[in-house]
Amino acid sequence: MASLIPRRAPYVCKACRSTRSSKALLRTFVTTVERPASLRQQLEGRNSSIANENAAKNVKPFMQRRGPKVSPTSPNPAQSLPDGLPKSTVVSSIIRDPRNALREIQNNALDLLGSDRIPDDAAVQEVFAQAQTLASTLIQTQPIDSQQQHASPPSESQTSLLSDLAESSQRNTSASTLTLSDRKSIALDLAKVLYTLCEDPKLYLSESLLASYVTTITNLSLPQYLPKIFHLYARKPIPRPSSYPIKYSQPWSRAPKYAIPLRLVDMAMQSAIATKDMPLCISIIDTTVATPAYHSAKFLRKAALPLLGASSVIPLSYAAANSAAAMQLSWDPDTFFWMCMSGATAYLGTMGTLLFITMTTWNDHHKRVRWVPGTPFTKRWFGEEERAWFDKVAQEWGYKDEERWGEETGEEWEALKEVLGIRYLEVDRSSLLPGML
């Protein structure tokens, strides 16, 4: 999510509404970060200082605070939590002080990482829910410019507007006065915390936690933290419940249950395309729709039932021909039976073959990326989603004008063509370009 429109004030008087022009504020979070290899040491180093600071300030856990009222028309981040996550997080407490909320999340994460037992599912889900709510707070409140801190006092025409918004400004004082650099820092620290939790061997990465993680990371516009977690989702050892010391079992990475849901793939790819990072887009494709687990899930979801129906055609034809031969009196029963079987086999076989070829050679529903002639039918069918995302990447990196398709040059474009060639794909086949038919 590269740009977002901030929330407007819940109420503006009519006298000031005409003088107020609302402009969309574009905010871009950090797009390139280093891999958080030493996050655990950084958090542990700050744990003692954070505890002393909270004790000195007598800071209550943000889950126990009472926050301000939320306008019925304003979006509630807690309502967008994935299924299976608790919705008891108090949004207003995070809006009031995102820094304290981040420290609370870091402390909770340290408790989970420091334990030598399997963490409780409810505690893990609560941390992810808090992180998702904090991410929603960062993108919904309006940051200030460093220049605005030294702005001149308001004029008379702004006095009534300020008085009308006094209550709203008091509610979101801490969150709305964060500078853009502060938001980037909080977003980066939050992403590192979640990344370290997902990498921890003791934590079982369920689909609900993965959905919450992807939602939070894409809200922060930090898709660099997604490919490794997508890879671990099907290959991370599973801790055995009630085992101490903890024992692990290796998952079968080809199992359909380890396929990344398409809605999460869409969120990740949209965020990666917005950052204009082609290697990142290719990594997300490789760890989602190009995995054996996704192919297995697609086979069960789309091909199992049609194949079951096709396999039952011959027994049903045999039963129908046998019944028809027994009921008629004009022909020899054996001759009539084999005549019916030959007709049914010829008709169903011919039509089924044509249907199969039509479905597997459908090649003109994307704009720029197409299969190389001679690609096996099974490869075409299993790799259709992979091709669709590569087509979107080619459209984003190439010329928008169709008349200039095929003229792209550069290191990234040549690398994209090489990657597509390995996958039996090609971009801008010369015979299909405009004016070349």
Per-residue pLDDT of 241-279, as tens digits, reads 888 888 999 999 999 999 999 999 999 999 999 999 999
Same domain, 192 and 214: yes
- Flag whether 121 is in a domain: yes
CA distance 101 to 98: 5
Q: Indicate whether 404 belongs to any domain.
A: yes
pLDDT the model gives residue 312: 87
- Structural domain of 397: 363-437
Q: 39: which residues sit within 8 A by CB, 6+ positions away?
A: 192, 193, 195, 196
Residues 129 and 169 in one domain: yes
Assess whether 184 and 330 both reside in one domain: no
The number of domains in the chain is 3
**Does residue 213 sit in the same domain as residue 340?**
no
Residue 1 lies in a domain: no
Collapsing DSSP to helix, strand or coil, 31 comes out as coil
Q: With respect to residue 159, please indicate whether it lies within any of the assigned structural domains.
A: no
- Which band of pLDDT confidence, cut at 50, 70 and 90, is reported for residue 434? low
> Which whole number is the average pLDDT over 294-320?
89
pLDDT band for 328, please (50, 70, 90 cuts): confident
Q: Is residue 337 over pLDDT 70? A: yes
User: Within a domain: residue 271?
Assistant: no
Q: Please tell me whether residues 338 and 214 are part of one structural domain.
A: no
Q: Are residues 206 and 103 in the same domain?
A: yes
- Nearest residue to 104 via CA among 148, 64, 157: 64
Model pLDDT, residue 368: 87
The residue out of 328, 360, 392 marking a domain boundary is: 360
Burial of 236 (0-12, 13-18, 19+ CB in 10 A): buried
**Residue 158 forms part of a structural domain:** no
Amino acid identity, residue 254? R
Mean pLDDT calculated for residue range 155-178: 47
CB atoms within 10 A of CB 332: 11
What is the secondary structure of 379-421 as a DSSP string?
A: HHHHTHHHHHHHHHHHHHHS-SSGGGTT---SHHHHHHHHHHH
User: Do residues 401 and 344 share a domain?
Assistant: no
Return the pLDDT at 432. 65
Model confidence at 72: pLDDT above 90: no
For residue 242, the model assigns a pLDDT of 81
pTM over 0.85: no
* DSSP code of residue 254: T
Residues 351 and 214 in one domain: no
**204 and 188 share a domain?**
yes
User: Which sign does the torsion angle of CA 177, 181, 185, 191 carry?
Assistant: positive
Domain boundary among 253, 273, 297: 253
Residue 141's pLDDT band (boundaries 50, 70, 90)?
Answer: low
Mark whether 77 and 213 lie in a shared domain.
Answer: yes
Residue 413 lies in a domain: yes
Same domain for 170 and 226: yes
Domain boundary among 336, 360, 384: 360
- Residues 73, 103, single domain; the answer is yes
Is 386 inside any structural domain? yes
